Amino acid sequence: MKTVTLSTLQAFKRAGETFSCLTAYDASFAHAASAAGIDVLLVGDSLGMVLQGHSSTLPVTIEDICYHTRCAARGKGHSLLMVDLPFMSNATTERMLEDSAALMRAGAELVKVEGEAWMADGIREMTRRGVPVCAHLGLTPQTVYQLGGYKVQGREAAHAEQIINDAKVLVEAGASVILLECVPASLGKAVTDALDVPVIGIGAGPDTDGQILVMHDVLGVTHGRTPRFVKNFMVDADSIQEAFKHYHEAVKTRAFPAAEHCF
């Protein structure tokens, strides 16, 4: 399989071909996912919940993320490796630059940062210095307490318009990819249609350019309430790698997400 780069994702968008994304936190699972065809791997701060047992992503540190990035980078194969900036890494532009440099040195090929249009200056400085950026909009888990919980964003027309405008501002500032989480399917389509850069969705409907899920959700290793946008691909698989392959194929054929996974 050819190595996936930002140019590959841009070519997918131009061709109307969707791409698959999945979290991975170590070399073994990164290798299994890549071998199954997954296009983009994410070392997400979700590790705070699925690996460390926290109730949110907030306790995850830059040292945690760097460690898992180094591990995943050794097994990522052909996949593009995207990595999260953890909580408060976006507090200042200087902090964003310092922590992004640490992630790139650890093996990141695309750095994801949560926030809204106010991040434009920081993203502009990151891209000037060679850091490819994915801007995360919609439900941003690092602000979960401010949002009042894990709730769908952009239901009201004014908020939906704000998300679209924020996405445009951040792309203009240099963001190469947008990630949308937990928004109505109609908004996922509107953002995707409005931008020239690839849009990745999680709970954002079937019309985004790419789809992403947390690895543990794909494998059915979940605790408590299962989010609506999740599907357990392990049910019809004989191995973890086969479950990853089923997920990849479902995304590529747009069989996933189905109507029952959308808002």
> Could you give the residue numbers annotated as active site?
181
| Closest to 231 in 3D by CA, of 210, 252, 259, 189 | 259
Question: Is 84 part of any known ligand binding site?
Answer: yes
- The CA radius of gyration of the chain, in Å to the nearest whole number, is 17
Question: Is 196 part of any known ligand binding site?
Answer: no
Phi first, then psi, for residue 144 (nearest 5°) are: -60, -35
The token pair at 235 is 């049910």
Q: How far apart are CA 81 and CA 33, in angstroms?
A: 12
CB atoms within 10 A of CB 3: 11
Q: Omega into 257 within 30° of 0, i.e. cis?
A: yes
Question: Is 20 part of any known ligand binding site?
Answer: no
Q: Do residues 180 and 204 make contact, with C-beta atoms less than 8 angstroms apart? A: yes
Q: How far apart are CA 40 and CA 25, in angstroms?
A: 13
Question: Is 114 part of any known ligand binding site?
Answer: yes
- Spell out the residues 6+ positions from residue 185 whose beta carbon is closer than 8 angstroms to its own: 204, 205, 206, 207, 262, 263
Question: Is 207 part of any known ligand binding site?
Answer: no
Annotated binding site for Mg(2+): 45, 84, 114
Annotated binding site for 3-methyl-2-oxobutanoate: 45-46, 84, 112
Annotated binding site: 45-46, 84, 112, 114
